[in-house]
Amino acid sequence: MLFFTQCFGAVLDLIHLRFQHYKAKRVFSAAGQLVCVVNPTHSLKYAPTLCAAVQTSTEQGILPPCHHHEAVHDPQLVPCMCPLFSCPWEGHLEVVVSHLRQTHHINILQGAEIVFLATDMHLPAPTDWIIMHSCLGHQFLLVLRKQEKYEGHPQFFATMMLIGTPTQADNFTYRLELNRNQRRLKWEATPRSVLECVDSVISDGDCLVLNTSLAQLFSDNGSLAIGIAITTSKVHNSEAEM
């Protein structure tokens, strides 16, 4: 009976979760946007010893070291860009996408405008939601991270990284938008290159930053919907016309 009760409870939770996803998809699909449901993943980079080291360095005003900035023997090789793992992989920039999909099983979604639906926002930090976005002939990496920048005060950080060089990244503009209950919040910026460290971007706060109270205002039953739009920058357009 105990086994049956547990199984029955799990089935009810699954039905409820699928209903919430269906409801969100129906709403956003009506707006002509493609919805991608992204489940959370606990980052394996942040072992307890590493968390303690990061906290100590933050208190001393020193940023934690970033493994993406470590020396690479071959200048044509780049380290793994996945922020979830301390992955020892190195390779050419052209094969980063295939590595992320095959090794880390990160999904890729196509379309000029999509909705990033992150589930289970209540999970403890650190937690990451990651997806690749393909549009305008390039691939982008969207990272949403729940992290305690200060002990006991978790925050949400969302940023868009171009899987390309910094020069290529300057040609684009991305927009992240939260819209719920007659409230709207937008963040617009130039994407950073994955050759830069996503940890440094989050530490610098050069991204969309939400505290827990603000995230709850825009969440629905523990899920946070972020509208994503990527366009070419005005500078790039004017240069093309010339």
- Taking only the tens place, the pLDDT of each residue in 131-141 is 888 999 999 99
User: Taking the model in full, what pTM does it have?
Assistant: 0.70
Residue 50 within a domain: no
> How many residues are there in the chain?
242
In a domain, 193, yes or no: yes
The number of folded domains in the chain is 1
Domain contains 133: yes
Q: How far is CA 51 from CA 56, 150, 209, 214, in A?
A: 9, 12, 20, 25
Any domain includes 166: yes
SS3 state of residue 163:
coil
180 is a domain residue: yes
Of residues 219 and 18, more confidence is placed in 219
In a domain, 68, yes or no: no
Residue 110 maps to a domain: yes
- The verdict on residue 239 lying in a domain is no
User: Per-residue pLDDT tens for 86-116?
Assistant: 778 888 778 888 888 887 888 888 877 899 8
- pLDDT for 173: 96
Identify each DSSP E strand in the chain by its residue range: 34-38, 41-42, 78-79, 90-91, 108-110, 113-118, 127-135, 138-150, 153-162, 172-180, 183-189, 192-193, 208-211, 219-220, 223-232
Q: Average pLDDT for residues 143-165, to the nearest whole number?
A: 90
pLDDT at 53: 30
Instruction: For 42-56, write each residue's pLDDT tens digit.
Output: 665 554 433 333 333
What is the domain-level CATH number for residue 174? 2.60.210.10
Residue 179 belongs to what domain range? 31-41+74-232
